[in-house]
Amino acid sequence: MATIKLGNFITEARGKINGNVYSKNKGGAYARVRVKPSNPRSSFQSAVRAIFTVNSQAWRGLTANQRQSWTMGVGNYKKLNRVADQIILSGNALYQSLNKNLADVGLAPIDVCPAPADVTPVSVATAVADASSQSLVITLGGAVPANTSIKVFVSETVSAGVNSIGTKLRQLTFYPSTTAAALTLTTAYLARFGTIGAAGSKIFYSIVPVNETTGQVGAAIAGTITIQA
């Protein structure tokens, strides 16, 4: 369903209505015909769907008091929708959201809604991809902080002229708290995408910190890597 913001007339629209998709880029707002994406049912897609299924079943298994904690806690976890208006999730949606983040970093779900907590930020010192050695290493500014895991998202290799990757970043792996700063992503990247492309092409990446107690995510660190020879 599309999200539409009304002024004297429609000022913002996001999402789909019937056969049209509404969005915005640096050139302004636009609409396009909706094209139904292919569904290859990859192992990665299946893993994401499995997490959703497990969390949905777990929600139904909570006690009434546990579910009530999520319903009462939603006001502490306000979010912005696609047109930058503040929204409040349902208790079920909040449960799904925080526990999906925990599952993404290999942690068990939480049954009772936690109080919000700070998410320790991370920084990136260097990010190097090499075509000849087929290697990919991202080095953080320090070890992964305590009580924090990180999700690492990357793109397949794209040409040098691509300046935005859109929604094509994929979670490659995760690292738990106190992991050393140098993240060697080579094996996981080659297993996912097959190869690191030619020198001069790019790989996009994003690193998202997750509070290991609450499942909250912090500010993502995003960048691009120009592949060297």
**CATH numbers and ranges of domains, the chain:** 3-33 (no CATH), 43-104 (no CATH), 124-226 (2.60.40)
CA dihedral for 46, 110, 221, 152, sign (positive or negative)? negative
How many angstroms separate the Cα of 222 from the Cα of each of 57, 71, 111, 147? 34, 33, 31, 21
Helices marked H in 62-201 — which ranges?
A: 64-73, 91-104, 186-193
Residue 134 in tokens = 């087929």
pLDDT, tens digit, 9 for 90 and up, residues 100-154? 999 999 999 999 999 999 999 999 999 999 999 999 999 999 999 999 999 999 9
Helix 43-61 vs helix 91-104: angle between axes, to the nearest 10 degrees?
130
214 touches 114 (CB < 8 A): yes
Provide the β-strand partners of residue 31.
22
**Locate tokens 């897609």: which residue?**
45
Residue 74 in tokens = 């939603």
Using a cut of 0.75, tell me whether the model's pTM lies above it: yes
Question: What pLDDT score does 87 carry?
Answer: 79
Between 6-15, 86-95, 161-170, 185-194, the lowest mean confidence (pLDDT) is in 6-15
Q: What share of the chain in percent tops pLDDT 90? A: 68
Q: What is the rounded CA–CA span in Å between residue 205 and residue 153?
A: 5
